[in-house]
Structure 1
Amino acid sequence: MNKEEQLIMNFRDLFNKMVWLNKFKMEESLKGYKPSEVHCIESIEKNRDTNVTKLAESLYMTRGAISKLTKKLIEKGLIEGYQKPDNQKEIYFRLTEQGKVIFKIHEELHKEFQERDKVVFEQVTEEQFYSMLSFVEKYTMHLDSEIKKQGIAIN
């Protein structure tokens, strides 16, 4: 196995371990909500004027899938649609009070997981962080370019 394959395999293992370790606590604390619903809530709260297109891009889902997802979230009373006075065509989303509760639970869980893993990050130097971030940014740009070349429309 070459170094590129080893690195990708290590990233995949790392990601899978994080998901597995966090999954039980997430499912227990957010019972009744699917991960896609929680991530949609998170994206709406963290981004201004979120519409179907913006959600599709940020969650790497189709606009059709986002339309279904936002409809479910509206039915559950977690988000609501609104329009801007200057744009009566586009529908944007914001969290309801109940949606904000789910967002807060999710954020608290992430803080708890960060605290658990802090011991590792405290050992990483600024130079190591910069190097890792730089690599991830370059790889992300490469993958974005490959997606465009293939004409794959995420939204």
Structure 2
Amino acid sequence: MNKEEQVLMNFRDLFNKLTWLNKFKMEDSLKGHKSSEVHCIEYIEKNVDSNVTKLAESLYMTTGAISKITKKLLKKDLIESYQKPDNKKEIYFRLTEQGKVVFNIHEDLHQEFQERDKAIFEQVTEKQFDSMLTFIEKYSRHLDAEIKKQGIDIKSE
């Protein structure tokens, strides 16, 4: 196995471990809410004037899938929709008080996980962080270019 394969395999393995380790606590603390719903809630809280298109692009989901999720969130009274006076066509979302409770639970869990993993990150030098970030940014730009080259429209997939 060459280094490229090792890096990709280790990225997947690391991501899977992190997901598995966090999964049980997340599911227990956020009962009744699917991961995709919580990620929509997170995006809506952190981004002004969130709409279906922006959510789809950010979460790498189709607009159809996001529409279904937002309908569920509206029904659960976790988000509310609104329109701007100057644009009656576009529908935007913001969190309700109940939605903010879910958001805060999710944020607290992320904080807890960050605290759990702090010891390892404290050992990483600034130079190592910079190298990792540079690689991740380059790889991400490469994948963006590949997506564009293949004509993949994330919004309509």
Q: Deviations over 1:107-145 (max 9, x none)?
A: 000000000000000000011001101100000000000
* Structure 2 Cα separation of the partners of residues 100 and 133 of structure 1: 31
Moved over 2 A (4+): none
**Structure 1 counterpart SS, 2:48:** coil
Who is 1:21 aligned against?
A: 21
The reply to whether residue 102 of structure 1 matches residue 134 of structure 2 is no
- Where in structure 1 are there 5+ consecutive unaligned residues? none
**Structure 2 counterpart SS, 1:48:** coil
**Structure 1 counterpart SS, 2:91:** strand
Who is 1:76 aligned against?
A: 76
**Structure 1 counterpart SS, 2:80:** strand
- Where in structure 2 are there 5+ consecutive unaligned residues? none
Letter of the structure 2 residue corresponding to residue 30 of structure 1: L
Matches within 5 A, 1:4-153: 4-153=4-153
- % identical equivalent positions: 79
The Cα of 1:84 is off from its aligned counterpart by 0.6
Q: Deviations over 1:88-118 (max 9, x none)?
A: 1000000000000000000000000000000
How many residue pairs match? The answer is 155
The Cα of 1:48 is off from its aligned counterpart by 1.1
Give me the TM-score of the superposition, normalised by structure 1. Answer: 0.99
Give me the TM-score of the superposition, normalised by structure 2. Answer: 0.98
* Structure 2 Cα separation of the partners of residues 46 and 148 of structure 1: 26
* Structure 2 Cα separation of the partners of residues 113 and 65 of structure 1: 28
